[in-house]
């Protein structure tokens, strides 16, 4: 069904308001137009590109919540966090993140996203990684969106330790898993 430009732009605004993390490619498929048309519509409507929308949501919602490091030092963009329980971040893999010869993302970017999320989920001024056990399950490529979820699975306040389990996915498929043993300064009775 072909829509008028005005109707498409109204629906585009509503869709982005409901889900600020929707990509231009997803919008193009939904509205059966080119990605360029979506970009032009966004420009006319003064709707920023996805990366800026993610930063805005993160800054508004989580900047004052994360205690263990500045929000701009987190690799990826936090889209949900409940300190000492869980967190979610998004990382869009670009050409500068992959090896030139095979287009596969360098592992340190995936590790950095997971590690910084493990630090961010800790409800403390200082959190450091003591030990990490990680597995790279599948290759990640430029253009992929990596969604990483952190879940606090254990806290030992006497030892000032927290275990965080992390899972990274691309299009619902697991690409990276890890368990991070984190040191925190807060302990029992603090």
pLDDT tens figures, 161-188: 999 999 999 988 999 999 999 998 875 4
Q: What's the CATH code of the domain at 106?
A: 3.10.129.10
Give the tokens for residue 16: 């982005």
The answer on 125 and 43 residing in a single domain is no
Q: Which helix (H) or strand (E) holds 157?
A: none
> Quick count: other Cβ atoms within 10 Å of Cβ 103?
14
Asked if residue 55 belongs to a domain, the reply is: no
As a whole number, the mean pLDDT across the chain is 87
Token readout for 87 is 């967190």
Query: Phi, psi (5° rounding) for residue 7?
Result: -65, -45
Q: What is the pLDDT of residues 138-151, one digit of tens each?
A: 999 999 999 999 99
Domain count for the chain, please give it. Answer: 2
CATH number of domain containing 24: 1.10.10.10
Q: Is residue 81 part of a domain?
A: yes
Would you state the torsion angle of the CA atoms of residues 190, 87, 108, 144, taken in this order, to the nearest 10 degrees? -170
Segment holding 70, helix H or strand E: none
Q: Is there a contact between 151 and 86 (Cβ–Cβ < 8 Å)?
A: yes
Q: Which domain holds residue 165?
A: 71-184
Tens-digit pLDDT profile for residues 73-118:
788 888 888 889 999 999 999 999 999 999 999 999 999 999 999 9
- pLDDT for res 189: 46
Identify whether residues 95 and 159 lie together within a single domain.
yes
- Where residue 160 falls (left for φ over 0; alpha for ψ -120 to 50; beta otherwise) is left
Whether residue 190 lies inside any domain: the answer is: no
Q: Report the Cα–Cα distance between both ends of the chain, in Å, rounded.
A: 61
pLDDT band at 123 (very low <50, low <70, confident <90, very high): confident
Ramachandran assignment for 32, one of left (phi > 0), alpha (psi -120 to 50 degrees), beta (any other): left
Please tell me whether residues 76 and 142 are part of one structural domain: yes
* C-alpha to C-alpha distance for 125 and 117, rounded to whole angstroms: 14
Considering the domain boundaries, does residue 59 fall inside one?
no
Query: Does one domain contain both 92 and 38?
Result: no
């Amino acid at each position: 069904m072909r829509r008028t430009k005005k109707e498409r732009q109204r629906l585009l605004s509503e869709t982005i308001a409901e889900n600020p993390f929707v990509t231009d490619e997803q919008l193009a498929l939904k509205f059966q137009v080119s990605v360029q048309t979506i970009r032009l519509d966004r420009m006319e409507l003064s709707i920023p590109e996805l990366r800026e929308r993610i930063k805005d949501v993160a800054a508004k919602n989580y900047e004052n919540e994360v205690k263990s490091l500045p929000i701009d030092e987190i690799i990826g963009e936090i889209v949900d966090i409940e300190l000492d329980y869980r967190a979610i971040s998004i990382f869009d893999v670009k050409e500068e993140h992959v090896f030139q010869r095979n287009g596969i993302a360098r592992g340190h970017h995936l590790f950095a996203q997971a590690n910084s999320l493990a630090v961010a989920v800790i409800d403390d001024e200082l959190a450091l990684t003591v030990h990490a056990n990680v597995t790279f399950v599948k290759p990640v490529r430029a253009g992929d969106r990596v969604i990483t979820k952190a879940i606090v699975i254990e806290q030992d306040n006497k030892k000032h330790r927290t275990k965080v389990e992390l899972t990274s996915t691309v299009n619902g498929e697991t690409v990276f898993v890890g368990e991070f043993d984190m040191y925190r300064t807060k302990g029992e009775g603090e």
